[in-house]
Amino acid sequence: MHRRDVLKVFAGMALCPLCASAGFGAEAHHWSYEGGTGPEKWGSLDAANGICATGSQESPVDIAGSITAQLPPLEIGWRKRPDTIVNNGHTIQLNCPEGGTLKVGARDYGLTQFHFHHPSEHLVDGKRFAMEAHFVHAAADTGLAVVGVLIAPGTANAVFNKIVSTMPGEEGQTVPAGPDIDPNALLPDRRAYYRYEGSLTTPPCSEMVDWLVLADRVEVAEADIARFAKLYPMNARPVQNRHRRFILSSG
């Protein structure tokens, strides 16, 4: 398989995914968010997941004590709408056609999918948010960049409402995404962000992710959060040890 194709598969799996049937055998070693197949056991479920237990750059983290730096702006060009919504058994994921872009300094990425966690996986100064959206991008050469957006209850968001109103309720189901689902509407106005080197937050926990967590939250209706939570009451990996990693802030 060409290196770029491998990265696209990882991007499709990334951070909360269907993982499985994509050819890496993850489904043969089922994982979950609790009990005997929960996060504390991921590293022992499959030899391929060993880094979940032994890694030194694992995600998510508590974003605290960040260092202000001159980071490049996030140049987001998500011009195309997602084409499908899938309930993959771990989250609700929206798959995107080629064409959506992210540029960070000299690095270019393509948007492959976005999905949601309840509650948030990242904390900020010890505070956990109601939800978190992850926008997964793959580079043409190597690595992933994930834009994380923290979500809080408040003013209704029409796009999030459309997603939870049309998301499939059964694991394995896929439905078309409405043409009015614009991922840009799930971003805050300001693009200030935190940056650190980390990993996928689901098995195989590969340490190949440039994390870009936006500093400002977005609001959605509390009732819509409750609708998502009815399907996924808890699908967030616990915070991991930072191991002396620096977290940079664009200010």
211-238 tens-digit pLDDT: 999 999 999 999 999 999 999 999 999 9
Burial status of residue 87 (CB atoms within 10 A of its CB: 0-12, 13-18, 19 or more):
buried
Structure tokens at 120: 């948030």
Prediction pTM value: 0.91
Predicted pLDDT of residue 140: 87
Predicted pLDDT of residue 13: 47
- pLDDT exceeds 80 at position 15: no
Predicted pLDDT of residue 1: 31
User: Residue 195 in 3-state DSSP?
Assistant: strand
pLDDT confidence band for 29 (50 / 70 / 90): low
Predicted pLDDT of residue 141: 85
**Residue among 2, 90, 117, 137 flagged as catalytic:** 90
User: Which domain does 195 fall in, by range?
Assistant: 3-249
Burial status of residue 239 (CB atoms within 10 A of its CB: 0-12, 13-18, 19 or more):
middle
- Examine the residue annotation and report whether 90 is marked as an active-site residue of this protein: yes
- pLDDT exceeds 90 at position 2: no
Listing DSSP states for 31-78 in one string gives --SSGGGSGGGHHHH-GGGTHHHH-SS-S--EE-S-EE--PPPEEEE-
- 32-71 residue pLDDT tens: 999 999 999 999 999 999 999 999 999 999 999 999 999 9
Predicted pLDDT of residue 154: 98
- pLDDT exceeds 60 at position 139: yes
Domains: count for the chain: 1
CATH number for 142: 3.10.200.10
Predicted pLDDT of residue 56: 98
Q: Which helix (H) or strand (E) holds 85?
A: strand 84-87
